[in-house]
Amino acid sequence: MIENWNLVLSALADRIGAQEVDKWIRPLRPTVMTATAIRLQAPNKFFIDCVSDNYLAALREGVMEVLGPRQLLFEVNDTLQGELFPLKSLARGSATQSRPTIGTLVQKYTFANFVVGANNQFAHATARAVAKQPGEQYNPLFIYGGAGLGKTHLVNAIGHQILDRNAGAQVAYLSADTFVNDLITAIRRDRTDQFKQRFRHVDVLILDDVQFLASRERTQEEFFHTFNALHERRRQIVLTSDTFPKDIAGLAERLRNRFEWGLIADIQPPDVETRIAILGKKAEYEGIALPGEVAAFLAAHIDSNVRELEGSLTRLGAYASLHRIPLTVDLAKQVLQDILKREVTISADDIQNAVCSQFSIRLADLRSKRRTRNVAVPRQIAMYLCRKLLQSSYPAIGAIFGGRDHSTVIHAVSVIQRRMHEDPGFQATVERVERAIAGD
């Protein structure tokens, strides 16, 4: 557990700086670490509030990079108070007083270390343009794409460059999930006026994963007015999502329209050459001696998610460093066997065959142009599972289902997600197919 926590701290140092880690994150004590959650102790509630207000998003990203998704649970242990946590160092403004930001930009996510390829060239160019002239064009800038493809990197790079050009600019960077939680807290504490003032007077608002605003009427109402206030003052708005605005289920139509006012850019999974370049850039940044054959091996076997690709290199490099052994393909097979097994054993054919078996239809029908309900619903389920289990791009999924347009796939995934949320019986059916694919 301690070894894994130290790897998380190392990853965080790249994001927010070693000084911030030493001051606010290293003092936390992990007491439980499972496959789904990490429990962290702090000396008092005040310390937890400081971490939650300023570093929670970065901490989650660091944990995700090293260990995968984990719920973070905090608890107070006042026996930790003392020299390790002097109260005088916990002044609320001390962590952010010198920063003109709301939230914490990820330190290493800059344009300088973003690898440009055919999959993200347009999104990169528009992000550059926005960073150069915020509020002047492409407002809002809406970037969408699958998980781990670089959306968060690009929007952080925008924030960094704007601050480099204007150190006094007010930049707000946070996830939609944080925006929701902050609003709930403000309502509970009767501080909604302060909440409004906080976000409606920034120069740049960067909101990650806006799909999490879906079906939250009060939050959407507040964000609608925040959006209007900023847009009227020609303040830059940057948004990311895992899907196109019109395909975010549960999103108010007036918000959907505003998301489409500016420019929409998508990011697709990188090709193998770009993946190798990404690994090379990551290895250079972290000081990892990465042989070409190892980079080629990783790029060939982890092909759909940049975050997982980079996380695998971090994990492999940490293992080699701790055991003082060189990186080799055999070592990669050993250390990353859980990831590689998943990549190798599940294919689109497996998913299609499992769906056909579950619904008693022919594979040819699943890939055909037929739109009858007994074929269309299983086809949508298969598309959804390809997206979830393989994290394939929408165009790639469309290609293996008879050459369909990517918008058809986006719609299918959205329909299945919404129906699973509304119908427990349907959700159980989809999960049964998923278990069959995994061999359970």
3-state secondary structure of 430: helix
Enumerate helices (H) and strands (E) in the chain, giving the number of each. 21, 9
Does pLDDT of 91 surpass 50?
Answer: no
At 342, the pLDDT band (50, 70, 90 cuts) reads low
Could you tell me the CATH number of the domain that includes residue 6? Answer: 3.30.300.180
440 has a pLDDT exceeding 60: no
- Answer yes or no: is 104 within a domain: no
In a domain, 106, yes or no: no
Residue 81 pLDDT class (50, 70, 90 cuts): very low
Label residue 92 by pLDDT band (50, 70, 90).
very low
**What does the pLDDT look like over 96-115, one tens digit per residue?**
333 445 667 887 889 998 99
Total domains present in the chain: 4
Quote the longest CA-to-CA distance of the chain.
Answer: 70
* Same domain membership, residue 62 and residue 83: yes
Same domain, 415 and 282: no
Q: How far apart are CA 155 and CA 85, in angstroms?
A: 34
Least confident of 60-64, 103-107, 209-213: 103-107
pLDDT of residue 82: 42
Residue 308 has pLDDT above 60, yes or no: yes
255 and 123 together in one domain: yes
Q: 258 and 135, same structural domain? A: yes
Within this chain, do residues 166 and 228 fall inside the same structural domain, yes or no? yes
Give yes or no for a contact between 23 and 95, defined as CB atoms under 8 angstroms apart: yes
Mean pLDDT of 278-296: 89
**CATH number of residue 358's parent domain:** 1.10.1750.10
Q: What residues contact 57, with CB distance under 8 A and at least 6 apart? A: 103, 104, 174, 175, 178, 208
Q: Which residue has the tokens 């996380």?
A: 311
Distance between CA atoms of 28 and 339, rounded to whole angstroms? 29
Q: Where a domain ends, among 46, 71, 96?
A: 96
Domain membership flag for residue 408: yes
**The predicted structure's pLDDT at residue 85:** 35
Beta bridge partners of 30: 40
Question: Region 359-366: what's the mean pLDDT?
Answer: 90
Residues 57 and 139 in one domain: no
- Asked which of 156-160, 273-277, 324-328, 421-425 is least confident by mean pLDDT, the reply is 421-425
Say whether pLDDT at 87 is over 80.
no
Q: Is 2 exposed, middle or buried (0-12, 13-18, 19+ CB in 10 A)?
A: exposed
Q: Is position 62 within any domain?
A: yes
How far is residue 308 from each of residues 71, 108, 124, 208, measured CA to CA in Å? 18, 17, 20, 19
Q: Show the tokens assigned to 329.
A: 């393909």
Segment 302-319 mean pLDDT: 83
Answer yes or no: is pLDDT of 279 > 70: yes
Helices 2-16 + 306-323 axis angle, to 10: 120
Calculate mean pLDDT across residues 116-132.
93
∠ Cα 187 193 197 (to 5°): 125
> In this structure, what CATH number is given to the domain that contains residue 165?
3.40.50.300
Residue 140 confidence (pLDDT): 95
pLDDT tens profile 150-172: 899 999 999 999 999 988 889 99
List strands edge to edge, sheet with 236-241.
Answer: 101-102, 171-175, 204-208, 236-241, 141-145, 263-267
| Segment 168-192 mean pLDDT | 87
* Cα–Cα distance for residue pair 245/240, rounded to 1 Å: 10
Residue 364 maps to a domain: yes
The H-or-E segment that residue 374 falls in is helix 373-385
Looking at the structure, tell me whether residues 136 and 26 fall in a common domain. Answer: no
Residue that terminates a domain, selected from 244, 267, 290: 267
Which pLDDT score, from 0 to 100, does residue 241 have? Answer: 92
Residue 133 to residue 262: CA distance in whole angstroms? 14
Tell me: pLDDT of 3 over 50.
yes
CATH number at residue 332: 1.10.8.60
Q: What pLDDT sits at residue 304?
A: 66
Residue 46 pLDDT level (bands cut at 50, 70, 90): low
pLDDT exceeds cutoff 70 at 427: yes
The answer to whether 302 and 345 are in contact (CB under 8 A) is: no
| Within-domain flag for 259 | yes
pLDDT over 60 at 381, yes or no: yes
Q: Which of 325, 345, 365 is the last residue of a domain?
A: 345
pLDDT score for 439: 66
Give the pair of three-digit tokens for residue 265.
Answer: 């850019």
Residue 277: predicted pLDDT: 92
Residues 227-242: pLDDT tens digits? Answer: 999 999 999 999 999 8
Nearest residue to 27 via CA among 4, 44, 7: 44
User: Quick one: tokens of 114?
Assistant: 């973003």
- Quick: pLDDT tens for 346-361: 788 889 999 999 899 9
Range of the domain at 361: 348-438
Q: What is the pLDDT of residue 96?
A: 35
**Residue 360: strand, helix, or coil:** coil
Residues 255 and 125 in one domain: yes
- Verify that 229 and 142 share a domain, yes or no: yes
CA-closest candidate to residue 244, choices 419, 417, 420, 409: 409
76 and 139 co-located in one domain: no
| Residue 191 within any structural domain of the chain | yes
Indicate whether 83 pLDDT > 70: no
Give domain status of residue 164, yes or no.
yes
State what percent of residues in the chain have pLDDT above 70. Answer: 92
- Rounded CA-CA distance 287/277 in Å is 15
Model confidence, pTM: 0.59
Q: Are residues 134 and 258 in the same domain?
A: yes
Are 308 and 187 part of one and the same domain? Answer: no
